[in-house]
A = this chain, B = another copy of it.
């Protein structure tokens, strides 16, 4: 029984500008029946990430290019609804880069079974790319030592809020930068940050000085722009600056402004590094077990922002760029 599915297709490359409604096109297509070794999947949840705009722009070269007419790339949790594959049974839950489609046929190669005691959605958030990005960026690139001061921008975001908690577990003093009183309160009261800086409430540089009087040993930057520059102004000797994201670039559509204070890397013998989390893919299962353990110990919490309805996928992505989401942005179909 062939299945008809709705899909969101890429309809424009948002280069040098924000995402617009016309960058997506809703289409309906008939799927072939799953052949030998294939499964039919029904999407239950989609996960959203700022990197998706980069994929749409098709300028980053660490992932395959996206062409007009392609099904929009994205992560999803799916249920197996028909299977000709020995590894998957009807009813199994799996996750992977399944795209913005209600149904799809897959050979199963890039699918991972949902095997956790936590909620199924955790595989897209705390146990998903978000969680392992926080882990790898902090521990493999930032390499904090107990007692270090760790400063996180975009601290109330999906990645940032996990980074801060992992740094606390590692014995660090943790300060987060976020926009607005609500987010800052959540950072301190729920996520265990030692202090929060509201970038909408006065000089960021002065607030960093106040909360990091001995300088910043590890910066975890999700933002770029003037906030990265202010953070670089306050690095301690030997600081490690982790560049994870540059959400500020999405406001203008171009790259974030260059941080003039980069020269402090000389005065303070600092290091600034970017990373692509897929480079550590072979370690993801072990990292996920650690993260799951911290959650069960009660040392790690996370937030999910769940929107509803497949037709709202484009709007849900936009929430990331308007700062509306609190924690991991998900969509329930």
Query: Cβ of B279 and Cβ of A274 under 8 Å apart?
Result: no
- Within 8 Å by CB of A265, from B254, B267, B269, B274, lies B274
- Within 8 Å by CB of A272, from B257, B271, B279, lies B271
Shortest distance from the beta carbon of A143 to any chain B beta carbon, whole Å: 12
Query: Cβ of B259 and Cβ of A258 under 8 Å apart?
Result: yes
Query: Cβ of B62 and Cβ of A267 under 8 Å apart?
Result: yes
Residues of the B chain whose Cβ atoms lie less than 8 Å from the Cβ of A262 = 243, 258-259, 262, 272
Asked if A164 CB lies within 8 Å of chain B CBs, one says no
Asked if A270 CB lies within 8 Å of chain B CBs, one says yes
Interface residues on A, range: 20 to 34
- Within 8 Å by CB of A260, from B244, B255, B273, B279, lies B255
- Within 8 Å by CB of A273, from B60, B254, B263, B265, lies B265
- Bound together, the chains give a CA A268 to CA B258 distance in angstroms of 17
Fill in one digit per residue for A263-290: 1 if any B CB lies within 8 Å of its CB, else 0: 1111111111111100100000000000
16 pairs, A vs B, C-beta closer than 8 Å: A62-B267, A229-B258, A243-B262, A243-B266, A246-B266, A255-B261, A255-B263, A257-B260, A258-B259, A258-B260, A262-B262, A262-B272, A267-B274, A268-B274, A269-B279, A272-B273
Instruction: Known pairs A265-B272, A268-B274, A271-B273; list 18 more (Cβ under 8 Å).
Output: A60-B267, A61-B267, A243-B265, A246-B263, A258-B259, A258-B260, A258-B262, A259-B262, A262-B262, A264-B274, A265-B273, A266-B274, A266-B276, A267-B276, A269-B275, A269-B276, A270-B274, A271-B272
